[in-house]
Amino acid sequence: MTRRAVVTGVGHYLPERVVPNAEFEATLDTTDEWIRSRSGIERRHFAAEGEGTSDLATKAAQAALKDAGIEIDSVDAIILATSTADLTFPSAATMVQAALGMTRGFAFDVQAVCAGFVYALANANALIASGQCDRILVIGAETFSRIMDWTDRSTCVLFGDGAGALILEAKEGQGTSDDRGILSVDLHSDGRYRDLLYVDGGVSTKTTGYLRMQGNQVFRHAVEKLAATAEAALDKASLTSSDVDWIVPHQANIRIIQGTAKKMALPMSQVVVTVQDHGNTSAASIPLAMSVGKQRGQIKEGDLLVTEAIGGGLAWGAVVLRW
Ligand code: COA
């Protein structure tokens, strides 16, 4: 028998304010048509004044706990993937812990930018497989609107705010690829690519800074590395792309999503796409897509999912899981 980390609940939260592309036409030399055709994005949500990443994360977590039908004190750990924590410290995860009324266990943030949720799943899987935890709340939450340079049309139209959450629970499997739960993980980073995507501020500069990106360079790395990591993860689980029911990709750009699916020889009808409604919500995009995909009736129990992401670092990776 093999201990598997199985998804038993999922939920998400999006801030109330929806910003359509057309809103940027008033302040920037851009058009709805340019944003739509180059990125696939039609609208995104922005957090309200005073609404922090931990607030979005808490609401997504509450939805996932409700979906799983469990109380917070039955959870052993909270792992929160974010690059936009409310404060330098404490971690946003401990703020969520307090907000949920969790009086036991432990909580920490994972920072791997847009690959954050994949890294968080890898951590949760390791804690469950090793027997240290039985139940983990894994959240991706971001307020990238706070690190946008609103005068830079090549970045500020691409990102949005939001949060998604999963409950992962230890269950015994047969140790085969027919098991439910996380079946394999493939992680990478290469710090030599720092200048392609970074924030030009932080503690040692005593500023928050703004996101800076060489979009076309990131694009090139994305298509090549995402298909490779997804295939490597499938290989580790003794599976191939023909076994996959759904790709749940990081939602950065529809052209990256299409390019990756094509390289994997899978049709777009097997890809969960939410980028048109959310923009790029960094570490939140994958759990948001999982939650919306389940709500739409796309993702069902027993389906084989491969989820992949790349972001600043560069950091990238993939997880194969049976829902
Ligand atoms: N509106 C209108 N024109 C814009 C624009 C906007 N919002 N943003 C950039 N442009 C212009 C550029 O200034 C450039 O003009 P120039 O040729 O006069 O210099 C032109 O559009 C082409 O820019 P380029 O960056 O080559 O376009 P692109 O086809 O690569 O698309 C991105 C730009 C950013 C949409 C695309 O590169 C991308 O999505 N990259 C990946 C980004 C990403 O997903 N990052 C996150 C990964 S986690």
Ligand 1 and 157: CB distance under 6 A: yes
Q: Is residue 50 very low, low, confident or very high in pLDDT (cuts 50, 70, 90)?
A: very high
pLDDT tens figures, 77-98: 999 999 999 999 999 999 999 9
Q: What is the DSSP letter of 202?
A: B
Segments making up each domain of the chain, as ranges: 2-173, 181-322
Which atom of ligand 1 is nearest the CA belonging to 156?
Answer: 7
Tokens for 148, please give them.
């946008």
Ligand 1 and 311: CB distance under 6 A: yes
Known catalytic membership, residue 250: yes
Tokens for 33, please give them.
């048509």
Give the phi and the psi of residue 42 in degrees, each rounded to 5: -115, -30
Mean pLDDT for the chain? 97
Tokens for 142, please give them.
């971001």
pLDDT tens figures, 140-166: 999 999 999 999 999 999 999 999 999
Looking at residue 295, its amino acid is Q
Report the SS3 class of residue 199: strand
Closest by CA position to 159, among listed 52, 275, 11, 316: 275
What's the whole-number mean pLDDT along residues 243-254? 98
pLDDT tens figures, 264-307: 999 999 999 999 999 999 999 999 999 999 999 999 999 999 99
Pairing of strands 211-213, 17-20: unpaired
Ligand 1 and 253: CB distance under 6 A: yes
Q: Read out DSSP for 160-198?
A: -EEEEEEEEEEEEE-SSTTSSEEEEEEEEE-GGGGGGEE
Q: Is-same-fold flag (2-173; 181-322)?
A: yes
Q: Read out DSSP for 206-244?
A: TB---EEE-HHHHHHHHHHHHHHHHHHHHHHTT--GGG-
For the chain, report the end-to-end CA distance as a whole number of angstroms.
19
Give the phi and the psi of residue 130 in degrees, each rounded to 5: -80, -5
Give the phi and the psi of residue 165 in degrees, each rounded to 5: -145, 150
- What homologous superfamily does CATH list for 2-173? Thiolase/Chalcone synthase (3.40.47.10)
Say how far residue 48 (Cα) sits from the centre of its chain: 21
d(CA 65, CA 58): 10
Ligand 1 and 252: CB distance under 6 A: yes
Calculate how far, in angstroms, residue 152's C-alpha sits from the geometric centre of ligand 1.
Answer: 11
Fold of the domain built from segment(s) 181-322: Peroxisomal Thiolase; Chain A, domain 1 (3.40.47)
Calculate how far, in angstroms, residue 20's C-alpha sits from the geometric centre of ligand 1.
Answer: 18
d(CA 290, CA 323): 10
pLDDT tens figures, 2-34: 999 999 999 999 999 999 999 999 999 999 999
Residue 130: CB atoms within 10 Å: 9
Calculate how far, in angstroms, residue 216's C-alpha sits from the geometric centre of ligand 1.
Answer: 7
Say how far residue 155 (Cα) sits from the centre of its chain: 19
Which atom of ligand 1 is nearest the CA belonging to 282?
Answer: 48
Tokens for 211, please give them.
């996101």
**37: number of CA atoms within 13 Å, CB side?**
5
Report the SS3 class of residue 17: strand
pLDDT of residue 281: 98
**132: number of CA atoms within 13 Å, CB side?**
10
pLDDT of residue 204: 95
Let me know the angle formed at the C-alpha of 83 by 189 and 294, rounded to the nearest 5 degrees: 90
Ligand 1 and 41: CB distance under 6 A: no
Alpha carbon separation from 201 to 204, 208, 283 (Å, rounded): 8, 5, 19
Per the CB < 8 A criterion, the answer to whether 251 and 273 are in contact is yes
> 44-55: b or e for each residue (b if 16 or more CB lie within 10 Å)?
bbbbeeebbbbb
d(CA 71, CA 103): 12
pTM of this structure: 0.97
